[in-house]
Structure 1
Amino acid sequence: MKLSDDAQGLVSKRSSMTLFSDNTSHYSHRVRIVLAEKGVTVDMITSDSGNPPAELGDLNPYNSMPTLVDRDLVLFESKVMMEYLDERFPHPPLLPVYPVARAESRQLMHRIERDWCALVDAIQNSRSDNVVSKSVKELRDGIVSIAPIFNEKPFFMSEEFTLVDCCIAPILWRLPSLGVDIRPSKQSKPLMNYMDSMFNREAFQESLSDQEQELR
């Protein structure tokens, strides 16, 4: 899809990579984690979903965040951004080298999107108390059910930190603010250890907005 003349003008004025980022969105947060892991310097334009920057509508037909601008390229889907950044800045790699393993990682991200992100969005956006309470329970049960897998590998079904972890960590960070209480137990201990490991990563700490820091 061709950019409008106004959008092309805005893009041409930007000499460096720019991220339009929602201060509280887990979708924006996952992209910020990738940027921090890669050590990429970007112009960060932060806002919230209710008050997007005026120029965003000329760049992104959905007027949504995150939106990544790199020269004449404009991306407005978080998983596409993450994979683009991983290919554009290959070190450290955040997807496996081999095609089968890469496909498995992509499928895991898709499942997180369908199973967990949809519930997070329902909790944050629904006006129905029944929908919210049901979503909270489903999210808590879903997260606790996968806790034992962290006994097997240090990261999410991987020996290395990947884009899958970048998708999961922002959700886990937000659990208290979502009303999801994961109680310490023998079953949840591997998950708790994983969360501590993720949250203590230097890149994760760098990725947090001021608003996100206050969520815990």
Structure 2
Amino acid sequence: MGVVTKRSSMTFFSDGQSHYSHRVRIVLAEKGVAVDVIDVDPDNKPEELADLNPYNALPTLVDRELVLYEANIMMEYLDERFPHPPLLPVYPVARAQSRLMMHRIQKDWCDFVDTILLSKDEAAVEKARKEFRESLIATAPIFNEKPYFMSEEFTIVDCCVAPLLWRLPLLGIELPEKQEKLIDAYMDRLFKRESFKASLSDAELEMRI
């Protein structure tokens, strides 16, 4: 992980290939949290993980006696535990809108990505790839409206979007030139952030060689 600026005694069990683990690593790096990141092979998980997490799933975050095993819950916990820089808005309405956007990203995009990466059904994979591509094309103008995703500031929503866009080559998705230009400027801003660069696993670095 990146530069450590805050004292903590956290352990993060991470899948170096998973966009869900990646989003949490971005938050950890953005906050400058001192954390022991354990890169776990999903096919060869340590016994310790099953003892900590009843689902024996990744990612898993351990903070002293607290164990969390859902990525978005981890992200919000870290934002509250380490409030600077804030990644969720202060006001309740804006916070609710951010959470709703995270939900939509899950339903509209993450489900497609999971199908492309994990399904053995070639027809389902091609369908998901086509629908994800079409959704990105339709959404492309939004990426160009503000510096970050529907925001003037980097937020927790960007932490969810960035891992998906980083994986576009892996997913086999190419966009038309017009839409690609709109999204490229956004991606460039995200991928140049020190926190994003610090968040990348070895496997993720190889996704864009």
Asked whether the two chains share a fold, i.e. TM above 0.5, the reply is yes
TM-superposed CA distance for 1:180, in Å, is: 1.0
Match of 1:214 in 2: 206
Asked whether the equivalents of residues 22 and 163 of structure 2 are also in contact (C-alpha less than 8 Å), the reply is yes
| Deviation per residue, 1:81-136 (Å, 9 max, x gap) | 00000000000000011100000000000000111111111111111110000000
1:83 equivalent among 76, 92, 98: 76
* Alignment root-mean-square deviation, CA: 1.0
Query: What is aligned with 1:188?
Result: 180
Quick check: 1:21–1:65 contact (8 Å CA) kept in 2? yes
Would the aligned equivalents of 2:15 and 2:39 in 1 still touch at CA under 8 Å?
Answer: yes
Structure 2 residue identity aligned to 1:196: D
Deviation at 1:177, TM superposition (A): 0.5
8 Å CA contact retained: 1:136, 1:178:
yes
For 2:124, the aligned partner's letter is V
Q: How does 1:63-82 map to 2 (within 5 A)?
A: 63-82=56-75
Could you say which residue in structure 2 is the equivalent of 1:201?
A: 193
Q: Supply the distance in 2 between the matched residues of 1:153 and 1:23 (Cα, whole angstroms).
A: 30
Assess if the C-alpha contact under 8 Å between 1:26 and 1:171 holds in 2. yes
Q: 1:166 aligns with which of 159, 164, 170?
A: 159
State the Cα distance separating 1:54 from its structure 2 match.
1.9
Alignment of 1:26 with 2:19, yes or no, is yes
From 113, 124, 142, the counterpart of 1:120: 113
Q: Which runs of 5+ in 1 are unaligned?
A: 1-14
Which of 172, 186, 191 is the aligned partner of 1:179?
A: 172
Give runs of ≥4 in structure 1 deviating > 6 Å.
none
Residue among 79, 86, 90 paired with 1:93: 86
Distance in 1 between the 2:206 and 2:185 partners?
21
Tell me, yes or no, if the aligned pair for 1:24 and 1:48 is still in contact at 8 Å.
Answer: no
Whole-Å separation in 1 of the counterparts to 2:125 and 2:69: 27
Residue number among 126, 144, 167 corresponding to 2:137 in the alignment: 144
> Secondary structure of the equivalent of 1:16?
strand
Aligned to 1:47: 40
Return the offset for 1:138: 0.7
Contact 2:10 2:62 survives alignment (8 Å): yes
Structure-1-length-normalised TM-score: 0.91
1:152-195 deviations in Å (ceiling 9; x for gaps):
2111111111110000000000011011112422x332211001
Instruction: For structure 2, list consecutive stretches of 5 or more residues without a partner in the other structure.
Output: 1-7
Percent of aligned pairs with the same amino acid: 66
What is the CA–CA distance in structure 1 between the aligned matches of 2:177 and 2:45, rounded to whole Å?
Answer: 39
Q: Which whole-Å CA distance do the structure 2 matches of 1:126 and 1:150 have between them?
A: 29
Contact (CA 8 Å) 2:144, 2:185: kept in 1 or not?
no
